[in-house]
């Protein structure tokens, strides 16, 4: 790949004090992939049913045809993203205080039997930027549940979603709404995609959700003495959200460091899905060296 000192220096700066630089490069590379290598558009599917994963624009920016990868079929969400479960942990001061706010949102529905709240793709959340807009979804699958919120212990609120883009959207959506009441502290993510046969073995999508209950083998941010990321991440990882970023998110910020971290892991999951064991470090160095992960007309995939 021919990575020189300039790439190392750029990556160090972008990964620490300049997260937006990496974010722009990630989106740029993904847009190049979308323009030059798209194979098929996504089609409406029910949650956990199989289809084409489409991640566009400010998302991962490319379209994946599930049957092109060694005969396996990719599991996607109803809104078109690859199924990749995420658990978000918020620090809260008072559960009643938070519930009071949730009860005022039409996009939040209480499920008392499960002692939970569900976040639906409607009303205030209808404009959440996902691969498929509300109007693109068939009536029979609406309203789509974007996530499930619980209070597992005092001082903690937990939101589970089934894609990286939903996690990014959730951080940006709930940050300003719950400002002063809840702060996003960390995110647990499964660093891989799943095939149809795995869902059948686990007896449904809920069985795959339980991957989040496994042993965490990595925490980010991590780095070596040069400030570069560790070589790679485990299948189940926790990403710490800085207090400053979370507080900025409460004021309407877009969580750039968290979004970049998750999207880079989405790129890694895509590469592993198609049989290429690329590390997170290799992805970041390639972006830093070439200005994009994929370049139009490069012939590289």
251-286 tens-digit pLDDT: 988 999 999 999 999 999 999 998 888 899 888 888
- 73-91 average pLDDT score: 95
Q: What are the angstrom distances between the C-alpha of 202 and each of 66, 137, 208, 212?
A: 20, 27, 6, 14
Point out the least confidently predicted range of 12-16, 50-54, 158-162, 245-249.
Answer: 12-16
Candidate from 113-122, 157-166, 206-215, 270-279 with smallest mean pLDDT: 270-279
Q: In the structure, what pLDDT confidence band is assigned to residue 164 with cuts at 50, 70 and 90?
A: very high
The residue among 31 and 71 whose pLDDT is bigger is 71
Cβ distance 38 to 62 under 8 Å?
Answer: yes
Q: Which residue has the higher pLDDT, 229 or 157?
A: 157
pLDDT band at 110 (very low <50, low <70, confident <90, very high): very high
Say yes or no to pLDDT of 235 above 60: yes
Lowest average pLDDT, out of 30-34, 122-126, 140-144, goes to 30-34
pLDDT (0 to 100) of residue 223: 42
Q: What is the bridge-based pairing of β-strands 86-92 and 108-111?
A: unpaired
Q: Would you place residue 176 in the very low, low, confident or very high pLDDT band (cuts 50, 70, 90)?
A: very high
Percent of the chain beyond pLDDT 90?
A: 50
What is the structure's pLDDT at 287?
Answer: 83
Q: Which two tokens stand for residue 56?
A: 């566009």
CB 74 within 8 A of CB 53: yes
* pLDDT at residue 118, rounded to an integer: 97
Q: Could you report the per-residue pLDDT of 179-230, keeping only the tens digit for each?
A: 999 999 999 999 999 998 998 888 789 999 999 999 887 565 544 444 445 6
The answer to which of 103-117, 126-140, 206-220, 268-282 has the lowest mean pLDDT is 206-220
* Residue 119, beta-bridge partner list: 108, 147
Q: Domain segments of the chain: what residues? A: 5-290
Whole-number average pLDDT of the chain = 77
* Res 61 pLDDT > 80: no
**How many C-beta atoms lie closer than 10 Å to residue 90's C-beta?**
24
Q: Verify cis geometry, omega within 30 degrees of 0, for the bond prior to 221.
A: yes
Cβ–Cβ under 8 Å, residues 163 and 86 = yes
For 117, the token pair is: 């709240």
Q: Examine the pLDDT at 15 and tell me if it is beyond 50.
A: no
pLDDT at 33 over 50: no
Q: What is the pTM of this model?
A: 0.77
Residue 76 pLDDT > 60, yes or no?
Answer: yes
Percent of the chain with pLDDT over 70: 69
pLDDT of 201: 85
Is residue 178 within 8 A of residue 94, CB to CB? The reply is no
How far from 285 is each of 109, 250, 292, CA to CA, in Å? 43, 31, 10
């Amino acid at each position: 790949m021919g990575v020189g000192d300039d790439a190392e220096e750029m990556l160090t700066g972008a990964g620490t004090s300049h997260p937006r630089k990496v974010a722009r490069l990630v989106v740029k590379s993904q847009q190049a992939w979308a323009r030059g290598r798209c194979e098929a558009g996504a089609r409406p599917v029910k949650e956990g049913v199989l289809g084409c994963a489409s991640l566009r624009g400010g998302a991962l920016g490319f379209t994946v045809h599930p049957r092109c990868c060694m005969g396996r079929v990719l599991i996607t969400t109803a809104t078109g993203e690859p199924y990749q479960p995420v658990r978000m942990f918020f620090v809260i001061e008072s559960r009643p205080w938070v519930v009071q706010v949730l009860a005022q949102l039409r996009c939040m529905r209480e499920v008392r039997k499960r002692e939970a709240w569900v976040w639906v793709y409607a009303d205030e959340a209808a404009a959440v930027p996902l691969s498929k807009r509300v109007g693109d979804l068939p009536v029979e699958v609406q309203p789509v549940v974007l996530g499930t919120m619980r209070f597992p212990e005092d001082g903690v609120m937990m939101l589970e979603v089934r894609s990286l883009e939903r996690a990014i959207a959730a951080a940006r959506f709930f940050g300003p709404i719950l400002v002063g009441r809840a702060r996003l502290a960390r995110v647990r993510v499964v660093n891989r995609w799943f095939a149809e046969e795995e869902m059948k073995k686990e007896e449904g999508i809920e069985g795959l959700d339980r991957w989040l209950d496994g042993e965490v083998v990595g925490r980010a941010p991590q780095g070596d003495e040069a400030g570069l990321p560790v070589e790679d991440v485990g299948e189940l990882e926790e990403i710490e959200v800085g207090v400053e970023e979370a507080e900025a998110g409460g004021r309407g910020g877009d969580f750039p460091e968290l979004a970049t971290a998750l999207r880079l892991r989405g790129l890694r999951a895509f590469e592993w899905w198609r049989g290429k064991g690329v590390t997170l470090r290799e992805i970041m160095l390639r972006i830093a060296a070439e200005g994009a992960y994929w370049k139009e007309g490069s012939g590289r995939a």
